A and B are shown apart, each in its own frame.
Chain A
Amino acid sequence: METTEKKKDIITQLKKDILRLEGFKPQTEGKEVSFGLGMLEKAFPYGEFPTAAVHEFLCDEEEDTASTNGFITTLLSVLMQNQQSCIWISPFPQVFPPALKNFGIHPDRIIFIQLRRDRDILWAMEEALKCNGLAAVVAELQDLNFAQSRRLQLAVENNRITGFVLRKDSKKISTTACVARWRISPLPSFTEKGLPGVGFPQWQVELLKVKNGQPSIYKATATPKGLIVKNLENNQALRDKFTLTQTGT
């Protein structure tokens, strides 16, 4: 009996070592930030949202992109708490800064960079990820291959800032070194019973891939007090769709 206990300990220790070797480091002490993502954070190793990592978001349509930006902005509002700024690189100026105020950040603290070619965007993102003074870097890309994502991941591991990559073309999808692959799509808004009009935005948050974690589907509601996340895993139909996309890639 005791030996199995010991073995378990050894195995968990080894697992942790492997994670460390793969670039996952637990949050440093005293820098604990709660994202208020609730159960969503459980999907990641150590049960916390990895900040020193590159996250990949798939968005095909304009509506999805708008939702993804909303979701990323709520994450940024937590990351930018200690007065740091953030760089947002995109080929076209699409984001409308005044709207970001509703998600809890000051739009003037975001520095927008316009670059047309993917090559330039990747280069700029890598340069920005090497800078300790930033809270996060967001880049809108058409495509991302493994080598490119690996470079970004390496830059991120040294400097522990968060990178978000928005990919426009999800048909050309391939394996990447990113820590997680997300897809955010809009759901009917949340309204209190009987109230007319459009309520708080709700999103379907699909965690398609998590390195060393548990992929799953959630429903997130953006209220002025923060995100409320619920699990949608119980829904069998969604789970089927999810496994299909997994095998499809």
Chain B
Amino acid sequence: MQKRYLSLWFKQLLTDQLTIANPSLTEVPLVISIKERGRQSVKSCNNFALKQGIKLGMTLADVKALVPDVVLEDDVEGTEFILLKELGEWCIRFSPIVAIDEPDGLILDITGCCHLWQGEVPYLRELLTRIKEKGYQVRGAIADTAGAAWAIARYGKEKAIIASDEHYYSILSLPPAALRLENSLVQRLHKLGMYRIENFIDMPRSVLRRRFGEALLLRIAQAMGNTEEFLKPIYLPEPYTERLPCLEPIRTAKAIEIVIQKLLEALCERLQKEGMGLRKAVLTCYRIDGKVVSISIGTHKSTHHIEHLHQLLKMRIVNIEPALGIELFVLEASGIEPVEITQQAMWATSQESDEQQVAEVLDRIAMRAGKDAIQRYLPQEHYWPERSIKKVNSLDEKPAIPWPNDKPRPTHLLAVPQKVLVSAPIPDYPPILFVYKNKRHDIKKADGPERIEREWWIESGEHRDYYLVEDEKGKRYWLFRSGHYQADQQAQWFLHGFFA
């Protein structure tokens, strides 16, 4: 079958995109500037700016002098690729093979697609109209080769659809730049007076190779279809979804369990093949009365362990109200991450399998208690006791700094320091006795003080002088005095923790 290619050219891709986002920009000169070789120049501009005399490659200073009320935007690298990919993914409805043709086009392999639109003319018209409806200025051309289609789309003046085997004649009158040549090569051709492709296309290959190198020959061959040109098609990521329609509406928990098992088997088989695992899954149930119920689960580590996921979903079955019955189940996985592949049961106590097991237990507990109930603590670079640790939810996060153990810290820290009555000799001796919960504690041994300053860049307040004290029964406490002794005020003492 004769191959047919369609080339799309987005003349002002960047400015069009900005105009779509902000329609007020249509009636103003819009310029996208790029920094190159130490100066700012025009990378792209809209029609309004072109009319006022702005040209591509102009320096920004000239533009500002020419059109004082110009709207300037900085170029963000990679925008074109993102836009083209988006457009390309949209174009997959017209052809399964769509390739990005940087910087401003798309190439579609439309072989055998056009008859669905009753021919190439309505096909092209439909495609261009719909892209124009989106707000992009676009030109398209169809030819036997990708190279010829590219040339016609950008430089062609007459017709956009070149009939089979006519591409040779159609490009003869076009300038050499239509062959996708480098700028320097085009300039060299121009210097020699070759302003049209017909001037040199029939020259002997050896002459062209000697004068202009292999690149020109390759481009000519591609445009003529003498060599194969390979396109790199865009693949749409296939969503990790499984569906299970039921002949009879399902109403019992046992049946739902079986459904979950089947869906998981199908989903996990694919995940396993790709070495991926899921972090989140949503089971959506479509009831026959038109309502939709869904349950969701989350895991601490990405996994494709069927049994474990089944257990998690099973815990949520009670939340599904089947009413008259459920006719369709859809299981959707999100948060797809690679799974650490563990060596299976070579040694019973290998560390990875331990971690996997712990993660599975925590998943089950999290289903019941909520994800926030599970915490680990990591040290923080703060001396202030309340801030010296931070909570983390992940199981893998490693401490950024080693745990400090140079200063004594209590095994129990009270969330809010409790006020205690104390008799203590001044200036900074440990207390002799203190009263806590109406109980008097005589202090026999004491260590301290350890002064901890408040972190003034976070909050203001008094510093604390901490003492480790032991009473007559051997119970150990962490007391502190807030601030300095002052003549007119009684010192404030607090109990902040219990030592082992």
Contacts and interface: CB of A to CB of B under 8 A. Distances in A.
B375 interface: yes
B7 to A, nearest CB: 58
Given A188-B474, A189-B476, A222 B500 contact: yes
B405 interface: yes
B410 interface: yes
Contact of B408 (A83, A102, A130, A187): A102
B474 A187 contact: yes
B272 interface: no
A74 to B, nearest CB: 9
Nearest to A201: B500
Interface string A59-99: 00011011101110100000000111101000001111111
Contacts of A191: 445
Interface in B357-387: 357-358, 360-362, 364-365, 368-369, 373-379, 385
A67 B200 CA distance: 95
Contacts of A87: 358, 361
A115 B366 CA distance: 10
A186 B395 CA distance: 34
A137 to B, nearest CB: 10
B473 A186 contact: yes
Interface in A104-138: 106-108, 110-115, 120, 123-124, 127-128, 130-134
Contacts of A114: 369, 373, 375
A232 interface: no
A247 B30 CA distance: 93
B499 interface: yes
Interface in B469-497: 469-470, 473-477, 497
Contacts of B254: none
Contacts of A108: 376-379, 398-399, 403
B498 A65 contact: yes
Given A112-B375, A123-B368, A189-B476, A133 B355 contact: yes
B444 interface: yes
B429 to A, nearest CB: 12
Given A102-B409, A111-B358, A131-B360, A186 B475 contact: yes
Given A85-B358, A97-B377, A131-B360, A66 B498 contact: yes
Contact of B365 (A66, A93, A113, A186): A113
B358 A133 contact: yes
Nearest to B403: A101
Given A96-B409, A114-B373, A189-B474, A69 B389 contact: no
A228 interface: no
Contact of B349 (A82, A128, A201): A82
Contacts of A203: 500
A189 B445 contact: yes
Closest 5 CB pairs of A and B: A70-B500, A133-B354, A133-B357, A66-B498, A188-B474
B474 A115 contact: no
Nearest to B448: A197
Contacts of A67: 500
A91 to B, nearest CB: 11
A121 to B, nearest CB: 10
Contacts of B470: 188-189, 198
B412 A101 contact: no
B457 to A, nearest CB: 22
B404 interface: yes
A189 B378 CA distance: 29
A44 B368 CA distance: 37
Contact of B412 (A83, A95, A201): A95
B377 A112 contact: yes
A100 interface: yes
A69 B364 contact: no
Contact of B411 (A70, A93, A113, A130): A70
B320 interface: no
A107 B408 contact: no
Contacts, number: 170
A101 B361 contact: no
B361 A197 contact: no
Given A98-B389, A99-B411, A127 B364 contact: yes
Interface of B: 348-349, 351, 353-358, 360-362, 364-365, 368-369, 373-379, 385, 388-389, 395, 398-399, 403-405, 408-413, 415, 444-447, 468-470, 473-477, 497-500
Given A108-B399, A198-B469, A115 B355 contact: no
B355 A99 contact: no
5 contacts: A95-B411, A102-B409, A113-B374, A114-B373, A189-B445
Nearest to A68: B500
A103 B500 CA distance: 10
A66 B409 contact: no
Contact of B499 (A66, A84, A94, A130): A66
A18 to B, nearest CB: 28
Nearest to A94: B412
Given A85-B358, A111-B358, A186 B474 contact: yes
Given A63-B477, A96-B385, A197-B445, 5 more contacts: A98-B403, A131-B357, A134-B358, A198-B446, A198-B469
B476 A132 contact: no
A115 B362 CA distance: 13
Contacts of B374: 111-113
Contact of A66 (B358, B408, B411): B411
Interface in A160-215: 186-189, 191, 196-199, 201-203
A98, A115, A202 pick with most chain B CB within 10 angstroms: A98
A124 B369 contact: yes
Nearest to B358: A133
Q: Which of A93, A102, A202 has the most CB of B within 10 A?
A: A102
Contacts of A123: 368
A98 B379 contact: yes
- Pick the most buried of B395, B415, B445: most chain A CB atoms within 10 A of its CB: B445
Contacts of B368: 120, 123-124
Contacts of B411: 66, 69-70, 73, 95-96, 99-100
Given A63-B498, A198-B445, A120 B358 contact: no
A131 B473 CA distance: 40
B500 to A, nearest CB: 3
